[in-house]
Amino acid sequence: LSQLGLEASLGGFCREIARAHALKVQFEAKNIPRVLPEDVSLCVYRIAQESLQNVVKHSDASIASVTIERKGDEIRLIVSDNGRGFDPEAARSQESLGLISMEERIRVVKGQLNVVSVIGSGTRVIVDVPAT
C-alpha cells in the first residue's frame, strides 16, 4: 500500500477477489492522489477489504462494485453488491465485528461510514474520509 498507493493496491485486491471467487468485481478510481496520508490509505483499503470479504461470505452476490474518488478535500469509497442484503441495525445490535472494526477505523481518521442495505436488494458501504 505504501509502495503502490491506494488506487493500485485496491485495484489489485479487487482482481484477486474476482479471480478467487465466483464474483464479478468492477473497480473504478477517479482523481486519487498517488500519495495520501498513511492512516487514510490504510483506513480506506481495510474497509474496502472487509466489505468485499463480507460480500463473498454473506451476500450471495454475483456482482460487486468498488469506486474510490477524490471529491474536494475528501476521499469517497463506495462498495456495493447485488446480493441478499441484511439489516444493519440488527448486525450492530449483535456486535458484528466487521461493522465495529469499520466504525473504529473511520473514527480514527475523523471520517464517516454509512451502510445502506435492504434485505433482498443488496448493500452499499459508503465511506468519506479527509484526504489530508
| Contact (Cβ atoms closer than 8 angstroms) between residue 63 and residue 82 | yes
Read off the pLDDT of residues 52-65 as tens digits, 9 standing for 90 and up: 999 999 999 999 99
Contacts of 113 (CB under 8 A, 6+ apart): 47, 102, 103, 106, 125, 126, 127
Amino acid at residue number 112: Q
> Model-level pTM greater than 0.85?
yes
pLDDT at 90 over 80: no
Q: What is the pLDDT of residue 95?
A: 66
| Contact (Cβ atoms closer than 8 angstroms) between residue 23 and residue 59 | no
Q: What is the pLDDT of residue 34?
A: 87
3-state helix vs strand vs coil in the chain, percent to 5: 40, 30, 30
Q: What distance in Å separates the CA atoms of residue 33 and residue 48, rounded to the nearest whole number?
A: 17
CB burial of residue 119 (10 Å; 0-12, 13-18, 19+): exposed
Q: What is the pLDDT of residue 93?
A: 64
Contacts of 52 (CB under 8 A, 6+ apart): 13, 14, 17, 25, 64, 66, 79
Q: What is the pLDDT of residue 92?
A: 66
Q: What distance in Å separates the CA atoms of residue 4 and residue 57, rounded to the nearest whole number?
A: 27
User: How would you classify the pairing of strands 24-30 and 63-71?
Assistant: parallel
Mean pLDDT within 109-125: 95
